[in-house]
Amino acid sequence: MTPAVRTESVPSPADEGDAPCVRVGPSVRMPTSHGMFQLSAFIESRTGVEHLAIHCGDLSVPGVLVRVHSECFTGDIIGSLRCDCGPQLHKALDRIAAEGLGVVIYMRGHEGRGIGLIDKLRAYALQDQGMDTVDANLALGHPVDARRYEAAAAILQHLGARSVRLMSNNPLKLLALREQGLEVVAREPHEAGEHPENAAYLGTKRDRLGHLLGHPVAD
């Protein structure tokens, strides 16, 4: 027998009244090595991409800890040292578990800053020939950063998170979420996973993408 499918839909905070931004999927108890979480699934209406929220506690508490994490198969799953994604994901889950309150929004479809896994691997090949991560994306005909955040904002709204502390080193992500109607009251520096293999990559993120790495806290 086919299980019933919930069809509740959520607009993005910035587009209230427009077409629903995400549909609400199942939510299940998720014990992990980091601690006990709830895992909630969402389907982005525009793309059909399935996003996830890993959360615990009452997210309506002001200043709740949030990480909007871009999917990275290589970093998150096989422990790639070419980037810092895996350690950042696990650090976020540890910090939320320690506070007993917060959420990681796991954004599928954000591989390689939104260019997809296959082109991310093509970009890696270009980087092995001497390009940096910015020029590699451009050489493949992509924007430097193709990620969109309407779904993340809609998911946070659905979960009751209105006022958040964002775990991120990327000021542009903070601005993008504010543009989506989210109240970001603070940025929590979130450095993890530095390694000689990713030193050039992190340097490019700092010097060409404005990431706040190795600097004093700016806000």
Give the helix/strand (H/E) hosting 85: helix 85-99
Closer residue to Zn ion (CB): 72 or 174: 72
- Residue number with CB closer to Zn ion (85 or 151): 85
Q: Closest approach of Cβ 160 to Zn ion, in Å?
A: 29
Residue (13 or 87) nearer to Zn ion, CB: 87
Residues 51-90 vs Zn ion: string with x where CB under 5 A?
A: ---------------------x--x-------x-x-----
Torsion angles phi and psi, residue 36, rounded to 5: -90, 130
Q: How far apart are CA 6 and CA 15, in angstroms?
A: 22
Q: Which phi and psi angles does 71 have, rounded to 5°?
A: -50, 135
Tokens of 73: 């198969």
Residue 27 CB, nearest approach to Zn ion (Å): 27
Q: Between 11 and 193, name the residue whose CB sits nearer to Zn ion.
A: 193
Question: Does residue 71 have a known ligand-binding role?
Answer: yes
Q: Which residues are catalytic?
A: 145, 147
Nearest to 83 by CA among 197, 210, 211: 197
Is 70 within any annotated ligand binding site?
yes
CB of 78 to Zn ion, least distance (A): 11
Residue 83 annotated in ligand binding: yes
Residue 112 annotated as part of some ligand binding site: yes
Site for Zn ion in 132-161 (CB under 5 A): none
Least distance from C-beta 201 to Zn ion, angstroms?
9
Q: What DSSP string runs through 147-208?
A: ---HHHHHHHHHHT--EEEEE-S-HHHHHHHHHTT-EEEEEE-------GGGHHHHHHHHHH
Q: Contact, 80 vs 201, CB < 8 A?
A: no
Task: Please give the residues from 186 up to 215 whose contact with Zn ion meets the rule CB under 5 A.
Answer: none
Size of the site for Zn ion (CB under 5 A): 4
Q: How many CB atoms lie within 10 A of CB 140?
A: 15
Strands 102-107 and 50-56: antiparallel
Residue 85 marked as a ligand binder: yes
Residues in touch with Zn ion (CB under 5 A): 72, 75, 83, 85
Binding residues for Zn(2+): 72, 83, 85
Which residue positions form the known binding site for GTP?
A: 67-71, 88, 111-113, 133, 168, 173
